[in-house]
Chains A and B, each alone.
Chain A
Amino acid sequence: MTSIRRIALCAALLLVGCGHGMDGPTPTVAKIVPPVACNQLDTTVVITGTGFVPVPEQTLQKTSMLVLPTVTLVDASGNKTAIDPGAVTWTDETSMTVILHASLGLAPGVYDVVVTNATGKSGTLAGGLTIVPPPTLVSIEPTEVCDMRTTQVTLTGTNFRDDPATAPLLVTIGTPTPTVLSEADGAVTFVDPQTVTVDIPPGLPDGIYSVTIQNADGCSSTLDNALTIAPSPTITSIAPTSAWNGQDTTITITGTGFRMTPAVTIAAAGGAAITLAVTFVDAQHVTAVVPKATAAGGYTLTLTNPDGCSATAMLTVTSTPPITVTGVINPFGCSSDGTPITITGTFFESTPQAFLVGAATGGGDLKLVNVAFVSSTKLTAIVPSGGVIGGPYTLKVVNPDGGIGQKAMAFTITDLCPPVIDDVSPSSVVHNYSTSAPGATPITVTGSNFRADATVVLVNQSGTEVALPNVSVATAGIPTKLTVNFDASAMNLADGIYLVRVKEADAAPPAGTGVTEWGDYSLFIVTNPSGKFSPAMAAKPLPAGRRGLGVVGGQVNAAARFIYAIAGDSGGATPTLFDDGLVAPLDLFGNIGDAGWLTLRKMAANPATGDTTNTLPSARTGVGIAQWNGWVYVLGGTTSLGAAGLGATFTPTAPIADVRRARILPATEAPTLSTAAGVGGTLAAGTYYYKVSTLVTAGTAGYGANAAETVASDESVVTVGATGSVQLTFARSSLIPAANVAGFRIYRSAAANGTSQSELFLADVGASATGYTDDGSATPGMAHPLGAGMLSEWEAGPALQVARAYPGVTVAVAAPAAGTTIPYLYVVGGASSATIVERTYEVSSLTSGTAGAFGPTLTGSNDCASENCMATGRWSLFTSAVVDPPSVTNPVTSWIVAGAGATIAGQNLDEHAQITGASGLLQAWSSVTTDASAAFTISPETLGPIGFYSNAHLAVIDGYAGMVQNKDEFVGLACNGTSTNGVCDAGVDFKQTGARSNSNLGVMPPIAWCGYAITSGYMFIVGGSTDGTNAVTTVQEGAQ
């Protein structure tokens, strides 16, 4: 029984011992793919093995559930991390997919992977999963690549992983469309966990982009704004284009896409590259220094950006300085005063700086002020006072681009100031002039700084000094006046235009330099006693053909001379008549200057939009013209042309009696101006040129009937060192009454470093203004200031009594009594209609400064009862005064000659009439007699010739007679009776003397109906017609 009880007891215990438990397959974990995961990202791994058996549970409940195997990661320390069941996807009993969420915060390391079924059976893969940290991209080198070439950059950081078997390393450039570069493509190379190299391909869009490196595990690191894709550089210019190897030459390379700081090399063909010192200015400018002694020749300049992209251009290294300084006028100035100079040379650029090397106190360079860029070959500047007496100093000119030119021994700073010549009288002599000859006078030179050792020479147009023989100079203790006596009678001084030069020695050392210094004056004219001109030479042409125009010379002072061309027509079958005028400034020697012909302008009505032409009230041609006392007169003319008639290819169908006058605006009425650079404002750094004019009220004397503008001030040059402003200070001329000041008009060069004399309208300010601040806010308009030589607005003068087209006009100065000279304005002949040619004349006294009413009183056309008429009617004639010279010591007789222009066959006699009476009336006209008492004639009679009296000769050249004639009639005139000191006595007629010859002018091609004027020692022949119908632009000038 005991055994039975024992058995029962054991059975009971066995039954009780059957506890609760589950059973099922035991999983095995074979592999994790990928075996490495980054803890930065949610990473999906696939676990493979066997026995991954899910267990349906709650099967007897309304809703069952399937309990999947769980996944647990166990680190080396035994710490377990259970994977959220929701992150596990059961595929089958051999495979599960697990998402390792970044939120698990798994520390980097090696983990055992444990798969546990719901039954509790589990399998483990020891070290089956490695958790790694994400990469960290720290830097990129280089940070900039260009868009035109493949460039390798190096990425530096941490935790770069190379696992190409899993996935390639990827580097993504954050271009608008991301550029993905892959290790699989060879664009990315793993070097070590801290280094990866990437080949950046060409063609990426320019910009600054992020760079992202992505490990095989998908983790990545981004560096923002890490890589710049830059455009390739281009070179558009190099200044200077050639570098002088006599010095270190700084060149400025201009282009695009320059990156800080590029390398610049130059290399001759086949030669080694020379690396230049480089200064990066901005993306468009780089300067580099071509070292001194670089071999002359052509070089290829290569600019290479740090990103390796490059651009090339050609550079010439020369042994010749690219900037040359060839001359300085004048080459001296005294230390006590500022000295204006003109610098000539080549390749000047706006606006250079100029220095006298070593001339400043202390041995530094003396910087010249008010350097103005006139042209690439000319600068003006002022040598400031205070320079160290001595020299001659080297003058150095530095272009803005760094190009340097210099001239050794260019300028001497003297102790004593050089002479200044204001006037020379007389200004014209014959080439065998002797001051000791009867009636001759000494040459008087007035000016300043004349000293006892003063000498006087002439300088011809070649710059050669021509010593006058037997010169004696007397200062008579007056430092402002020299009296020069000389005798050139045996010398036959060459005819031409000269400068008068007064030379003096500076004080001897130690006070001064002892150098010879001088002052010049132009013009001084030496003429042939025969009065012949030098052959005409082509001068600056008109901008458009004109015939029937009026041409006259004028000047505002001894140094500012001009020639004007007014009205006229365009020629052709249907000619256009002009209402405007042109002016050409004459240079130092009287030639038409570089500026050429400029349209006459007046105050711009709308200065923001452009200039306003100074026009006559109506277009006209066939005008008479004269200039007296600074006033230009346009007399008569016709406002229309008709068909051929009166012996010409056209007829004046609407002759007019209108007389217009305009004043040559004097520079003395310009305001004064000074400028200074200021701070504040937006005016860009650089050199600016300013002018200011005074605006005057309507009716201001000398300015016409309307509101007007004076000539602008002298140009003021100011350099703004940095963005700022310029303060202008100005004041009206004392010659403009304050009551007539309506305001001031400000002009400025359009942009920094422009050209001298290029000012444009900037602003108008009120009459009370004394200054203006140019802070850069005002935009220059289109109007230019009125320069010297411009005329006032045309105003009505005293009208003619008879309409006269193509009249003869001249001004004659009569000297009816000792000490008395009376100027008269004569208007002779002309066509008063298309069929009527006038025999009458009209005269106006100029004694009041401007023309008065014309007389004698005429009742109408050809009223020969009221005056002495010419024997024949003449139009397109020439008229000249024969007054040689008007004497203030002897009462002389002046004559008016009228020639050519006759329309009656056989009436080809030239006529002359003596001026009598205070009103300038003429006595009876008569022919000029010859030695043989024969009439003085020219042959054949022509219309529109060139005719003038000069130097005791009468010339008639060309003209039209069925065709344009090639004529040159030239005869001497002499007193036909007694004379005193070479001047015909009162009442003594003149006559032809000597054989008829030519004047040497040799106008080619022959011309008719041109404008002509003798001024500044030249005969100017302007425009005209070469066939009677056309109108030409040619301008010729022949020296007297």
Chain B
Amino acid sequence: MDNSVYVTLSRQMALFRDLEVTANNIANVNTIGYQGERLIFDDYLVDGGKVEPKLAFADDPMSYRDTRGGRVEKTGNTFDLAISGPGYFSIETPLGTRYTKAGNFQLNNDGELVTIDGYRVLGDGGGSIQIPRDARNLIINGAGQIADGNNTLGQVGIVEFANEQTLERVGDTMFKTDEAPLGPTTSKIMQGFLEQSNVSGVQEMVRLLHLQRSTGSTAKFIEVMYDLQRKTSETYTKPTA
């Protein structure tokens, strides 16, 4: 059987998977702390035997996260925190510690700092962060220390990772990993700011166009291949007059 259609099909399938990744990036173009996802394509070589050269099938063995910082937007809210640098906030969830770039925090009715999904934000030492109800003017500095006037109330934890790519997405803009978190080196907290999604609309649109055209051309290729096969069989099976 002719392999060319299958090689094209592998490309076609990879294109559709790329489309899904692009669609998810665009859907999250306004999601606080979201980082874009990219697929990496590879060729998968198959020995075509003595006559044919090696065949290169398209394969998408991995996707990676774009870890560049998103645009930082001023909100002026006390509990809106953005991290400049490669750091993450630690979040306590029923399934274990999770990490996030989204710093749109709130207080729950116990006065603890929580994410919008209600999970507790972990402090420097690993416990939750309690804000007294009579706090007047909360200042959170670059290192994450929370102060009300001269009283220090705690410290928002920042963690960094040796390899950010090992962090796995779990939804709700959170990540999980088995890698041990490290202390902050260059990461700094900015109070009253939020890190927006780092998805670039223009790039995604160009990608979309590219995907669309590529599907068209691969589909065309398959069509041509079938046409050839049809013509071949027509020619050779034509009854002789």
The answer to whether A and B belong to the same complex is: no
Q: Interface on A for B, CB 8 Å cutoff? A: none
